[in-house]
Each structure stands twice: as C-alpha cells, then as structure tokens.
Amino acid sequence: MVDFYPLAGRYIKEQSLVHCNDDGAEFVTTQATGVDLNDVTGTNDTDILQHVYPDSYYRCDEDGSNPLLSIQATHFPCGGAIIAVNVSHRIFDIPSITTFISVWSSVHHPNKSVQVTPSFNIPSLLPCKEHRFGVNLKRSSAEEPKIVAKRLLFDKAALASLKSKLKPDTISDGEIVSGVIAKALVRLDWAKHGKNREFVVFQPINMRERTIPPQSKHACANLTFTTLTAPVAASEKIEVQEIVDVIGEGVRANVAELAGILSRDTDGRDIIIKSLGSLMKAISNRETNFIVFSDCNEFEFYEADFGWGKPVWMTITPQRLRSNATVLTRNREGDGIEAWVHLYQDDMPRFQEDEDITPFAH
C-alpha cells in the first residue's frame, strides 16, 4: 500500500532514518496441515502460535538489508485463515500497527464512510540525531530460563465484581486487571526471595493524543513511552486498591512530564533523556521487583475485516519476551479482557495457584 511507503524501505542505522527505496516487505502464505483452526485460536500454547508467525523477526541490521514489515497468512483446511503481522519496533509501535491493519483491511471496503489516513510527521517534529537518545542500553548475554505464557480471561461480570470493590468507579478495566495480576506477582516474588522487596510497575503509554499540541491517533512512528511508578514497599498483605492507586499516580505523573515533547519551545529530546534516565536508574537496582504491563485495550483490532468478516480472535506477542510482563487486550465482545502473563517456566505453577488468579485461569 502506497500509504505506508516507509514500510517498503530499509532502516539506515548510522543515520537513524528509513531509506524509502521501495525494496519491499515480506509476505508469505502457507497451508496448515495436521492442525485445525480451533486448535490455534484461544490457545495458551505459544509453541503452536509460533507456527503462524513469520519465520524471522528482522532486526534493523548494520547494512540495512532487512525488511521492516513481514506478514504471514496461514490457511487452514476448514477455510479459515490467520494473518500475523511483524513490524520493526525501531520505527513502529502498537498504535501504528493498528492504523496499518485498519487501512489495509479497509481496502476491501471502498465505500466505507470513514477512511483512515496515516501520517508520518512525528520524525520531523522530534528529530532523532542519534538513535540511543543519549542512553546506552546494554542487554545481558547470559542465557535466561525459558519463559512461558498463560492467558487469563476477565469477562464482563468479573470486571464488574472487581470494580465494585475499588474506588473511584472511574478506574479503567486495564488498571483493575493490572492490580489483580500485580498483587499475585508481588506474592510470588515474596515466596521466591523469602522477603518483601520493593516493586516498580512499568507501563508503555501511547502519547499521541496526550501531547501539547495533540497528535492524530493515526500518526505512524514510535510515540509510546514507558511510564513507571515510584518504588513501592511490598507486603504479603498488599491490596489491589493500593496497587491500582500507585499505577494511576505513576501514569498521570509521567504523562504530565512527557506532554511537552513536541512543543515548539521545548527540546523534546531532553525530556525523553530525563525520562529514560529515571527508567535506567530503576532498572539498575537489582533488589527491585519489576512488573510490566502493556495495556492494548484501546486498539480496535477486532474491527479489521479483510473481506471474510471480523476476526474471531486476536493476540499480541512481544517481540522480546521477558518475565513479569503482561499484555492486555480486549475480548471479541469488547466487554472483557484477555491478559497474557509471561513468567519463567518454574514460576508459572505457583502463580496459577494464587487465590486471586485461579478464577481467571482457563
């Protein structure tokens, strides 16, 4: 699609830019054998899901030869299909992928009353002189234990019941689910370490309509930033209300700090560097329990219709798995939440047995 011409280009690492040379994206079609579509949709088995993803997640390499977008369409004997989309996180975030899928699917509905138009103006508003923004992120070369995923289902009734026990009643569904899961993760951490360690909650926040001036929700780039709470003294008796309050305060404080990144009278790079500095300082404390939530409830993936009808199921898999990380998405009906919790394999059984988690583990 010409509307998304940068995705057909290649990332030039030394210059921190996309060369729109029209080298193209990767599109693969395959036939599923020995497995039914119902075996895949809604599964907790990430090994099964791996078969419907593109074989390679292409990182931005030194010579700029890798594609930025890869798609795999897997067709099943029943006539159904799964479409998996991978985009380099170097240039796109989840809101950008949502816009891409919305525009792509709308091609099959030319008479649709509301047409989505993507924009690519953010890089001009926030020029990136060098891709690290002044922060050196070092990844450990040590091999980590295997990470597994568990899907928790919070339906409409469950969310209403949980919300009735919390204040104020304006708390979002994502905050409620995050509070329940974080409480169980704090107890899991206590069981592992035999003591109450401080914990910090990290959460990526879409800043598009929160900046001053606000940006279009269809602006394509990376405008999602990680917010973090202040360190919280953990306790076996910590309650969901306390965690929800902490998450809300952290998000509001970070949004206020980042709101001016695109203002004309402000150097947005300085704000980002300060924010990343706080993040790195928190991460450097090895005695802190890090809990990560990616709340994707606002994105309308279930509205995508490629001509076969709307999806019966969707999920988001992080490009780099880490323990204590949870991805939240809406269910098909739009009134519940699916939470994908990622933990080290040895930790998952104890987590599933937590009294607050058992009702939602299927």
Domain 147-360: which CATH class?
A: alpha beta
- The domain spans of the chain are 2-91, 147-360
Q: Give percent of the chain above pLDDT 70.
A: 92
* pLDDT above 60 for 133: no
Domain pair 2-91 / 147-360, same fold: yes
**What pTM did the predictor assign?**
0.90
pLDDT digit string, tens, across residues 45-74: 777 787 788 765 556 666 678 899 999 999
Who has greater pLDDT, 16 or 259? 259
| Range in 30-34, 125-129, 185-189, 212-216 with the lowest mean pLDDT | 125-129
Residue 196: pLDDT band (50, 70, 90) is confident
Residues involved in catalysis: 89, 305
Predicted local confidence at residue 311, as pLDDT: 93
User: How much is the average pLDDT of 195-207?
Assistant: 92
User: How much is the average pLDDT of 244-259?
Assistant: 92
* pLDDT above 70 for 138: no
* Fold of domain 2-91: Chloramphenicol Acetyltransferase (3.30.559)
SS3 assignment for the chain: CHHHHHHHCEEEHHHCEEECCCCCCEEEEEECCCCCHHHHCCCCCHHHHHHHCCCCCCCCCCCCCCCCEEEEEEECCCCCEEEEEEECCCCCCHHHHHHHHHHHHHCCCCCCCCCCCCECCHHHHCCCCCCCCCCCCCCCCCCCCCEEEEEEEECHHHHHHHHCCCCCCCCCHHHHHHHHHHHHHHHHHHHHHCCCCCEEEEEEEECCCCCCCCCCCCECCCCEEEEECCCECCCCCCCHHHHHHHHHHHHHHHHHHHCCCCCCCCCHHHHHHHHHHHHHHHHCCCCCEEEEEEECCCCCHHHCCCCCCCCCCCCCCCCCCCCCEEEEEECCCCCCEEEEEEEECCCHHHHHCCCCCHHHEC
Predicted local confidence at residue 23, as pLDDT: 93
Predicted local confidence at residue 349, as pLDDT: 95
